[in-house]
Chains A and B, each alone.
Chain A
Amino acid sequence: MSVLVIAEHDNVQLKGATLNVVTAASKIGGDIHVLVAGANASAVAAEAAKISGVSKVLLAESSDLADGLAENVAEQVLALASGYSHILFAATASGKNVSPRVAARLDVAQISEIQAVDSADTFQRPIYAGNAIATVQSSDPIKVITVRTTGFDAAATGGSAAVETVAAVSSAGLSTFIGREVAKSDRPELAGARVVVSGGRGMGSAENFKILDPLADKFGAALGASRAAVDAGYAPNDWQVGQTGKIVAPQLYVAIGISGAIQHLAGMKDSKVIVAVNKDAEAPIFGVADYGLVADLFTAVPEIVSAL
């Protein structure tokens, strides 16, 4: 048995999600190899080689792999797939983009967003926004899996795996990368942050959302939002926490003006400590919060900032 983990990176740095996927791979068992498919990505490969438990890093470099186009990355994975019993991606925007292409071409089912490994062929995954957990078994010869990173701790570093260069596939010629608009932020990435401060519809406007900035600054937190706040245009879409947005499990989750729809709870209920501030004492968010404060957020938030 051997597991291929597809590294998540931007050609410069390895993304933390890869470390969680390696932990999932180690629970399956067998050799763990990491594929770095990119352009000028040797620094990423060197970083991947340091993950404990990884026995080999495969580096495929080509300008066609620079921007993570699904068609090309999938071809690269398929070129190597036959040597593996399991192929694991992080359940991130890029992992979810590529993984089903690989599964379909191998004519196997994909097992999405696993949050626990029961055995090499049996996994637990949330369905219905996490309101139920399905235990599923695959009899396919190769298991193609996306891993919910919050279900697994990050693997340690300190290893020294060999880096082997593999032939890069040529472009599938189906799509072209045009450009990227990445929001510049000094805050930690939402998915891996230790503290997340999220605002909901109760914030009232995009302008009002700014009162969360000093709170996030004090905590060193990432900012998040409920779908209602995103739909209302108060916050950008990539801040969205919930069933159809990001799944987070920080040490501390601070929900401000969020009522707590099941779709939102799906994205944050595995947080270690949950704080809710809402003026509606009956809001469902208080049903999952460790500490609830029934108060007007516009007075409570500045008060919390000055009390910290």
Chain B
Amino acid sequence: MKVLVPVKRVVDYNVKVRVKSDQSGVDIANVKMSMNPFDEIAVEEATRLKEGGKATEVVAISCGVAQCQETLRTAMAIGADRGILVQTDVELQPLAVAKLLKVVAEKEQPQLMILGKQAIDDDANQTGQMLAALLGWSQATFASKIELGDGVARVTREVDGGLETIELKLPAIVTTDLRLNEPRYVTLPNIMKAKKKQLDTFTPADLGVDVAPRLKTLKVSEPPARSAGIKVADVAALVDKLKNEAKVI
């Protein structure tokens, strides 16, 4: 069984982004870029499926600028067998990415695709569900456990108030939540090996997909700042403030 794992190159989660002074976006020049953390969990899960004998091949895909190759190499260092880059400088929105992934899925014919539940840059939480809809496949979002059976996947999902388990007919889309696994550290030998793995590059035009953005960003602004309050000396002062100043208790 082949597993496809889309991965996104995003601003590293430790970077505090700054809004550009002309409000055209956030300044990401010269900041550290990394694989989206939820996508790392997806690559790890696919790799474990392969190591456990459930999957035969793991293919990582990234859509975006040429530097997404680095993200693909990281995926291959974790355990993906090869990579596919759909290269474009156009700002890609989730619907466009889902359309690109659909064409790749139709070529590659996987039984399972594992995606991160959301990217930590645009916080959209859309691509997996959109892809499932476009392919007409089943989906399980926010997965904390995946078990593969005969033609089905049983997935435990993080939902409001607890967990739920559903069974999906394969092929299926699964999106990852935090507790699915803890991604391994990539080792230097595996980074070296990843450099030799196959990486194919296409353009959106090769795949026949129009990726023009649908949403127009009119401006990007700073959120209203919350000013720091005061430090209180002790518990008695704190309770007094809450009762008599903030009046919340």
Q: What residues make up the interface of A, taking CB atoms closer than 8 Å to B?
A: 67, 69-71, 74, 92-94, 96-105, 107-113, 122, 126-140, 173-183, 189, 191, 195, 219, 227, 230-231, 237-238, 240, 243-244, 246, 251-252, 262-263, 269, 272-275, 281, 286-295, 300, 303-304, 307-308
Contacts and interface: CB of A to CB of B under 8 A. Distances in A.
Residues of B contacting A: mostly: mixed
Nearest to B140: A175
Contacts of A107: 95
A243 B120 contact: yes
Contacts of B242: 252, 273, 275, 291
A182 B248 contact: no
Contact of B164 (A74, A138, A177, A290): A177
Contact of A131 (B17, B158, B246): B17
A238 B162 contact: yes
B166 interface: yes
A240 B242 CA distance: 25
Closest 8 CB pairs of A and B: A290-B229, A174-B138, A100-B129, A104-B130, A109-B214, A101-B133, A182-B162, A100-B126
Given A137-B215, A244-B178, A252-B248, A109 B123 contact: no
A104 B129 contact: yes
B91 to A, nearest CB: 12
Contact of A292 (B118, B127, B158, B229): B229
Residues of A contacting B: mostly: mixed
Interface string B116-155: 0110111111111111111011111110100000000010
A269 to B, nearest CB: 5
A286 B228 contact: yes
Identify the interface centre among B19, B120, B139, B169: most chain A CB within 10 Å of its CB: B139
Interface of B: 11, 13, 16-17, 19, 26, 38, 93-95, 98, 117-118, 120-134, 136-142, 144, 154, 157-169, 172, 177-179, 214-223, 226, 228-232, 234-236, 238-239, 241-242, 246, 248-249
B231 A292 contact: yes
Given A71-B138, A286-B231, 5 more contacts: A97-B139, A136-B216, A139-B214, A181-B162, A289-B229
Contacts of B167: 175-176, 178
A133 B215 contact: no
